[in-house]
Structure 1
Amino acid sequence: MSKLLALALAAALQPAFAGMLDFNDITNSDDAAGFGMVQLMDRYLLSDGVQFTGGAWGERSAYNCDGFNSFVAHDLSCGAVQLASDPHNVKSSSDVSFTINFADGFTTGSSFYYSALKDTRFSITVYDQLDGKGTGKAIAASTSATCDVSGLTFCDWSLADLQFAGTAYSIVVKGADQTFMLDDLNLIQAPANPNPAPEPGSIALALGGLGALGWSRRRAARR
């Protein structure tokens, strides 16, 4: 099944995303190594219509949550998403990215919280097509303060307020390996088209009805 077909099927079968993804459903058992690290991919596609591609790893915190990674999630919860090639391995200097797709489209005012290592170079861009395609709008963001708690990597969170014109369908985050985390993703669904194009079946039914009406009028005129 193609990616676009899977997204369309999820949108048709499931209610649109409402509320917030806080990633607290991630457990140690999601990870074969028992560390609570899982590449998200289609994890939330059928339930919420949200798809991740690339280096988006859901992780469970070691801070009072029995996970492996030493971070404090936003609002002191247990789960968050790390930008990483593979957090099981030693981080590299290479750049990595992940994309968030939402087939129903989202509007300005959508948001998420992020934490980034000091002086880390990263970017957040929203696009008006899926998979980071089409026209992009860069979202202003800066690195967070260094954690003041010994042993913790991520703990200071900032709000990424996604302000843009029109409707967006994807978010792309790029940066160095294992230097950025995301939490509490809140996508505001774009309003439905108030005048949707009629389906082919409806058009055929309407044309058939008009044809029958014309035939009945011609028959009445002959009488």
Structure 2
Amino acid sequence: MTRAPTEDPSKETADPLVLQHVSLTLPSAAGPVEILRGLDVSVGHGERVALIGPSGSGKSSLIAVAAGLERPTGGKVLLFGQDLAGLDEDGRARLRRGRVSLVFQSFHLLPNMTAEENVAAPLEIARALDATATAKAWLERVGLSARGRHYPHQLSGGEQQRVALARALASRPALLFADEPTGNLDAVNAHKVADMMFELVADLGAALVLVTHDETLAARADRIVRLRDGRVADPAVTAIPAPATSA
């Protein structure tokens, strides 16, 4: 079943995400490549954290490891207090279900399903009784109530990403990973999708881990973690200060 609408993700006792000295080394034709090198990152309840850095700095790999999609070479990943090392693939999937969602730069919508069916599909897999009604409600929340019966090829890029966002949030997760969610969009649609994402995540009380190259988008987060060569570039990262107000 999906998380009930009245449940508050902040009631989770353990932090949504803790990475302790995490490393990731992958094979290549030229030999092993160090992707992540001793990362320590944590995300609190309802906290919005932006990961920023140049291409190849390890941002997307960090999300893959943090979400349990890739096993780290070393270190510990705790998702809601659960050590992912002790879980097999099915166990990690069960832990994520209804609590963790992902949005990517590529929309990953199923081309043979309508917008409504794309949003409803994960809910149906989770055996939610109200999957269709929930999908319709979330399409309305992202401004696409009139597009529910349209297929992905009939939607603009911005509309497809809004469908993907609705699909990710319809299960009311406690943690959303967003990997370059505006990277394939023009400036107008990027701003619209970003506004919706931050607003809806706040409404849910969910935590957000956002990967982006966009400094302006990153500045909307509560905290920025800068990566370089698989490491945290500045371990002494502080929260983004609030804008000064005139007296």
After TM superposition, the score normalised by the length of structure 1 is 0.26
Q: Which has the larger radius of gyration?
A: 1
Structure 1 or 2: more strand by fraction: 1
Structure 1 or 2: more helix by fraction: 2
After TM superposition, the score normalised by the length of structure 2 is 0.25
